[in-house]
Amino acid sequence: MFPIELAGVGFRPDGQCVLSGIDLQLDGDGISILLGPNGVGKTVLLRMIAGLQPVSEGRLTWGAASRPDEAVAMVFQQPMILRASVLDNAALGMKPLAFGRRERRRRAHEMLERVGLADRAADSARLLSGGERQRLALARAWAVQPRLLLLDEPTASLDPSAVDAVEDIIRGIRTDGCKVLMTTHNLGQATRLADDVIFLADGRVQEHAPARQFFARPRSNAARRFIQAELPWRIRFDE
Amino acid sequence: MIDTLFAALRLLGSFDRTLVDIVWLSLRVSLTAVVLGALIGLPLGAWLAVAEFRGRNLLVVLVNGLMGLPSVVVGVVVYLALSRSGPFGSLGLLFSPGAMVIAQMMLVVPLIAALTRPIVEDAWREYAPELRVMGFSRGQSMQTLIHDCRHSLLVALLAGIGRAMSEVGAVMIVGGNIDHVTRVMTTAIALETSKGDLPLAIALGIVLMAVVLALNAAAFHIRRWAMRRYA
């Protein structure tokens, strides 16, 4: 299903240009981070790749196919938490798959152990904290053994220790052989997690570069300004 | 007036055989109608919440409108369908508890469906993106949403029970109010009052109120427990 290729992809709700001429190629490993100012279309791009937003302009292909042939999972900023136990929530994503109930519960329990929530398995999921909810959502996504995991600002509004725990899980998912594509506004997090960075501005991909290169020598002025504004104490570029 | 009330309480205290039979038949007929009605009404309401098709809004308005369906109209329709010359006359259900279940079910299905739709629709708006990414079919989504909204949907079931137990027109027409066969609380109250046998009518009225209050109290406690358990 890789590389995922977007060619000339655009999004213009009610004539207003949000994305225009997006050309992007995603390979099947590592963590790619989508960066860019608010409203630039990062979430729209994720939703297009997840199949939630139809691609009305341009082309999205998965290898040679028009749709993915392996599992794709997505975790949202505010994940869906059902009025059920933590275990039932973790097992939910496997319901459409060909697993029996016992197998679903076994795998869900295994994932809860990996994200450190096994001791809360029988508790009501609605009583979890924000950080625990996000870990539960990651366990639910991980349980379907996705080949691609899309994360839409998964640590927004979490405290530093919860962010740390979520980042550890994301690294674990990558180590498991899953490609991760994630949006964030936290540049510190991007430097810690990213293998490559896709920088969006003015509705276009301004840069797609290895993370080290992007943060040391951003090519576009928009990326320079964005990084300098967010991490002024860390980054000094040669003028 | 006081004498009549005491006579009614004596009937209740002595577990009068006639009274017990009427109450038991009422509960059997109404609860069966609500259970069967819920099996149709809950999925119908959930389907209206998640489905996208031309004419959906028209169907929603129609189902909402049917909430106020007059019970005598349902009674006449079911009577015609089950009468000897009607399409289902060969079943021999007219003037039986089965006919009363069918009539009450026709009254509660639109009520339950109309109350279910907005509750499930709110949840669907919140959960749809994730359920779609997970690959849930429409049926699986409906099942998940009904289960997740189960405590709120108690209100729809309670309304259905209230409607079924309190209606008199439809069961009078299709049941015939036959003593020890199709006589339920509402039809008995109407008959005994017209005959001037007020103690039995009042005793049945007390039982009817007690059943409705008990069901509401149970639903209230279930919801409170659910709020604590699931935040």
For B211, how many CA atoms within 13 A lie in the half-sphere containing its CB?
22
Cα–Cα dist A140/A89, whole Å: 7
The Cα A140–Cα A94 span in angstroms is 8
Structure-model confidence comparison of residues B223 and A141, the more confident one: A141
Domain limits for position A74: 4-230
State the angle between helix axes of A101-114 and A130-143 in degrees (0 to 180), rounded to the nearest 10: 130
Cα separation, B141 vs B195, in Å, equals 54
Q: Is residue A235 part of a domain?
A: no
Residue of chain A minimizing CA distance to B124: A80
Q: Could you read off the pLDDT of B50-64 as tens digits, one per residue?
A: 999 999 999 999 999
Contact A95 B133 (CB under 8 A): no
pLDDT reading at A96 higher than 60:
yes
Provide the domain count of chain A. Answer: 1
Q: Is the pLDDT of residue B125 over 50?
A: yes
Q: Which residues in chain A (142-161) have CB-CB distances under 8 A to chain B? A: 144
Token pair listed for B181: 């066969």
pLDDT digits (tens, 9 = 90+) for A57-75: 999 999 988 889 899 999 9
Name chain A contacts of B126, Cβ cutoff 8 Å. Answer: 80
Indicate the CATH number for domain B2-230.
1.10.3720.10
* pLDDT tens figures, A16-63: 888 988 999 999 999 999 999 988 999 999 999 999 999 989 999 999
Residue of chain A minimizing CA distance to B144? A82
* Most distant CA pair in chain B, distance: 68
Classify residue A152: in a domain, yes or no.
yes
- Contact A67/B at CB under 8 A: no
Residue A236 forms part of a structural domain: no
Domain segments of chain B: what residues? 2-230
**Which residues of chain B have a Cβ shorter than 8 Å from any chain A Cβ?**
126-127, 129-137, 140, 144, 147-148, 150-151, 226, 229-231
Q: Cα B87 from chain centroid?
A: 25
pLDDT at residue A233 greater than cutoff 60: no
Residue A208 is part of a domain; what is its CATH number?
Answer: 3.40.50.300
End-to-end C-alpha distance for chain A, whole angstroms? 41
**pLDDT for residue A232:** 53
**Mean of per-residue pLDDT scores for chain A:** 92
Query: Do B175 and B64 touch, CB atoms closer than 8 A?
Result: no
Give one DSSP letter per residue of A53-119, joined into a string. S---EEEEEETTBSS-SS-EEEE-SS----SSBHHHHHHGGGTTTT--HHHHHHHHHHHHHHTT-GG
- Give B173-209 pLDDT, tens digit per residue: 999 999 999 999 999 999 999 998 899 999 999 999 9
pLDDT at A39 (0 to 100):
87
Q: What is the pLDDT of residue A230?
A: 66
Max Cα separation, chain A? Answer: 61
Q: Tell which A residues from 21 to 40 touch B, by Cβ distance under 8 Å.
A: none
SS3 A36: coil
pLDDT digits (tens, 9 = 90+) for A176-192: 999 999 999 999 999 99
CA distance A71 to A108: 16
- Judge whether A92 is closer than 8 Å to chain B, CB to CB: yes
Q: Does A82 touch chain B (CB under 8 A)?
A: yes
* Residue A239 pLDDT class (50, 70, 90 cuts): very low
